[in-house]
Homo-oligomer: A and B are copies of this chain.
Amino acid sequence: MKISPLAPTSFPNMPTVKGVDIKTYATRDANKNRDNLLLVSFVEGTKVAGVFTKSKTRSAAVDWCKNHLSTGHDARALIVNSGNSNAFTGKAGVKTVNDVVAYLANKLSLDATQIYTSSTGVIGELLPASKLINAIEENKVTAAKNAYVAAAAAIMTTDTFAKYTSKQVQIDGETISINIIAKGSGMIAPDMATMLSYVFTDAKVSQAALQQILNSATQKSFNSITVDSDTSTSDTVMLFATGAARMVEITDASNPKLKEFSAAIHEVCLEMAHQIVKDGEGAQKFIKIQVSDAVSDKSAHIIGLSIANSPLVKTAIAGEDANWGRIIMAIGKAGEEADRDLIEISIGGIKITDNGQVVDGYDETPVALHMKKQYIDIDVGLGLGNGQATIYTCDLTHGYIEINADYRS
């Protein structure tokens, strides 16, 4: 598959995160030369926070993680396979999760409640536990230049590039590493969650504080992107903090010592969210939609998503057509408060509408030039209040149809 034209041209080096050990494997049916199974081990005392899909048909793996996260146990292992989501596989799917976890608990001398698991890929096909277990037993670990790059590659499905980034911050004079990996390209319309993404840090932070930081970071990153309005059955973001760095545990998310750390978690989540959009199925353009002056942030968010999910807006942008009337349509259909005569729309920083109609002497030339760029900026002012939101999406192209009219076969 051709790499997305929006793929980042450079990636940061991924430092070591103390207390994290990464292995990747290939199942027997995996595409040759490609690992599709990730196993991460954590030192004792690793805290974990998570955010999951709200789908009513979520996968057995998501159910497992949600249930165990709430017990507050430490995390000692994470296993993720790609190619089969083990979603809508009924009791057999639940058994697969139980069997894989029991196998790992025995092999690694852990308690089952310390093990987290995700699956991503086709929905509705049975995933035998033996497939994953055999891959680990055969133990053909691939030598990877960097474990995190290998990890990011192992969880890909229709992704055209591996998604990862890293930040380092200082806490109490100690360098703390934050590494993140993610996958996602289609079925992207996270509902309080995302496709798969995992953050690894050696910071020593309590579970409650981690969860609070992750919730906040998720809202403005993974929850603010959409590729195709379709919400996955497997969406998962997890944040693992090994506590292996030399620092005293911080238990309060609002502790000033965590300010830089929280900001870095926000940043890496946003970078992953952007990389997912940039690898949106068939994407040729990255679109940033800023909605301001709505009655509330929530209202701005809904209006932004209505624009970002509109097939007519997305195809107009694919066609490099400054057809802003479709943005008006998408605002109108959102069901949120809007006053036609107060809406201001700008594209590429050029104001197009004002007072409920096109501005006097509107010249489309500079807007048409902006539409030819790879990065499209849309600003919508509603003139009603102080609510604002930024949503990221991509265009809807022939590539999306090509990929999805024949993904499974």
Where the two chains meet, the residues of A that have a C-beta atom closer than 8 Å to any C-beta of B are 53-58, 85, 87-93, 122-126, 186-187, 189, 191, 228-233, 309-312, 315-316, 318-319, 321, 323-326, 328-341, 343, 353, 355-358, 396-398, 400-401, 404-409
Nearest CB in chain B: distance from A88 CB, A:
5
| Residues of chain B lying within 8 A (CB to CB) of residue A189 | 333
Q: Once the chains bind, are A333 and B406 in contact (CB under 8 Å)?
A: no
| Residues of chain B lying within 8 A (CB to CB) of residue A353 | 88, 124
Q: Once the chains bind, are B233 and A332 in contact (CB under 8 Å)?
A: yes
| Complex CA distance for A249 and B242, rounded to whole angstroms | 80
Q: Once the chains bind, are B398 and A324 in contact (CB under 8 Å)?
A: no
Q: Once the chains bind, are B90 and A325 in contact (CB under 8 Å)?
A: no
Nearest CB in chain B: distance from A13 CB, A:
36
| Complex CA distance for A335 and B192, rounded to whole angstroms | 12
Q: Once the chains bind, are A325 and B400 in contact (CB under 8 Å)?
A: no
Q: Once the chains bind, are A404 and B319 in contact (CB under 8 Å)?
A: yes
| Complex CA distance for A339 and B56, rounded to whole angstroms | 7
Partner of A319, one of B53, B58, B85, B406: B406
Q: Once the chains bind, are B404 and A333 in contact (CB under 8 Å)?
A: no
| Complex CA distance for A154 and B57, rounded to whole angstroms | 46
| Residues of chain B lying within 8 A (CB to CB) of residue A56 | 331-340
Q: Once the chains bind, are B407 and A329 in contact (CB under 8 Å)?
A: no
Nearest CB in chain B: distance from A28 CB, A:
22
Q: Once the chains bind, are B325 and A122 in contact (CB under 8 Å)?
A: yes
Q: Once the chains bind, are A88 and B323 in contact (CB under 8 Å)?
A: no
Known: A187-B312, A409-B321. A90 touches B356 (CB 8 A): yes
Q: Once the chains bind, are B332 and A231 in contact (CB under 8 Å)?
A: yes
Q: Once the chains bind, are B231 and A57 in contact (CB under 8 Å)?
A: no
Q: Once the chains bind, are A124 and B319 in contact (CB under 8 Å)?
A: no
Nearest CB in chain B: distance from A311 CB, A:
5
Q: Once the chains bind, are A325 and B230 in contact (CB under 8 Å)?
A: no
Known: A230-B311, A309-B229, A325-B123. A57 touches B331 (CB 8 A): yes
Q: Once the chains bind, are B356 and A310 in contact (CB under 8 Å)?
A: no
Q: Once the chains bind, are B231 and A329 in contact (CB under 8 Å)?
A: yes
Q: Which residue of B lies closest to A325 (CB)?
A: B123
Q: Once the chains bind, are A408 and B229 in contact (CB under 8 Å)?
A: no
10 residue pairs, one from A and one from B, having the closest CB atoms: A123-B325, A90-B357, A319-B405, A57-B332, A55-B332, A231-B333, A315-B404, A124-B325, A90-B356, A56-B338
Partner of A124, one of B187, B230, B310, B358: B358
| Residues of chain B lying within 8 A (CB to CB) of residue A334 | 56
Nearest CB in chain B: distance from A19 CB, A:
35
| Residues of chain B lying within 8 A (CB to CB) of residue A89 | 357-358
